[in-house]
C-alpha cells in the first residue's frame, strides 16, 4: 500500500518544521511504499514536480515551500548514499535505491542510521570499540556507556 507524504505527515506546519534528515525519513518511507515498477524510475524532478504524486493534499500556497524542503531531504538521502544513479543508458536520469537505501524502510531506520553516524568506530579506543560500538549503533546507549565506563575502570585498575 502506497503511503503518501500527506498520510505520514498531514500537518503542513509539522512537515515544514522537520529538519532535512528528519524529512528524509518520511520521504524514504513514502518511496519505499511505491510499487516496484515506480521505484525503478525515481528521480527528484518527477517526485517534486508531479503534484498528483506528493503534494496535492497540501494547500496550494504551501506547495513550493514543501517542494523546497523535500528537495533538501532528497539531497541528504543522495549524499548519504541511499540513492544511486541507474547505470543503464535508457535510465541515466533516474535513480535506484542503493544497498543501504533498500534497508531504510521507515523513519526509524533513518533515525537509527543517523545515530550510527554520530559516533564512528574509528573515534573510539580499540579496547572500547570492540565491546561498545555494536551496542551503540543498535541504539542501546545506556548499556554502551556502562560497558565503556567498565572498560575504562578495568584499564585504570591494571
Q: What is the pLDDT of residue 113?
A: 81
Q: Alpha carbon of 57 to those of 4, 88, 136: distances in Å?
A: 9, 34, 39
Residue 17 Ramachandran class (φ > 0 left, ψ -120 to 50 alpha, else beta)? alpha
Its domain, for residue 138, covers 121-157
User: What total of structural domains would you count in the chain?
Assistant: 2
Do 92 and 32 lie in one domain? The reply is yes
Q: What is the pLDDT of residue 94?
A: 86
Q: What is the pLDDT of residue 54?
A: 74
Render the burial of 127-143: b for 16+ CB within 10 Å, e for the rest. Answer: ebbeebbebbbeeeeee
The rounded distance, in Å, linking the Cα atoms of 21 and 72 is 8
Q: What is the pLDDT of residue 116?
A: 67
**CA distance from start to end of the chain:** 58
Do 73 and 113 lie in one domain? The reply is yes
Q: pTM of this prediction?
A: 0.71
CA-based nearest residue to 132, from 4, 68, 121, 99: 121
Contact 54, 126 (CB under 8 A): no
Do 25 and 92 lie in one domain? The reply is yes
Q: What is the pLDDT of residue 53?
A: 65
Q: What averages of pLDDT result for each successive group of 10 residues across the chain (158 residues)?
A: 88 96 92 82 75 78 92 93 82 84 89 75 84 79 89 87
Amino acid at each position: 500500500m502506497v503511503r503518501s507524504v500527506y498520510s505520514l505527515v498531514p500537518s503542513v506546519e509539522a512537515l515544514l518544521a522537520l529538519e532535512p534528515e528528519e524529512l528524509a525519513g518520511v520521504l524514504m518511507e513514502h518511496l519505499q511504499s511505491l510499487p516496484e515498477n515506480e521505484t525503478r524510475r525515481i528521480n527528484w524532478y518527477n517526485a517534486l514536480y508531479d503534484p498528483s504524486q506528493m503534494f496535492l493534499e497540501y494547500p496550494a500556497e504551501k506547495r513550493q515551500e514543501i517542494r523546497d524542503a523535500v528537495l533538501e531531504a532528497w539531497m541528504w538521502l543522495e549524499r548519504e548514499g541511499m540513492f544511486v544513479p541507474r547505470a543503464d543508458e535508457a535510465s541515466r536520469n533516474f535513480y535506484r535505491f542503493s544497498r543501504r537505501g533498500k534497508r531504510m524502510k521507515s523513519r526509524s531506520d533513518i533515525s537509527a542510521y543517523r545515530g550510527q553516524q554520530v559516533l564512528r568506530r574509528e573515534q573510539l579506543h580499540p579496547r572500547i570499540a570492540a565491546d561498545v560500538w555494536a551496542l551503540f549503533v543498535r541504539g542501546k546507549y545506556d548499556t554502551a556507556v556502562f560497558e565503556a565506563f567498565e572498560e575504562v575502570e578495568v584499564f585504570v585498575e591494571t
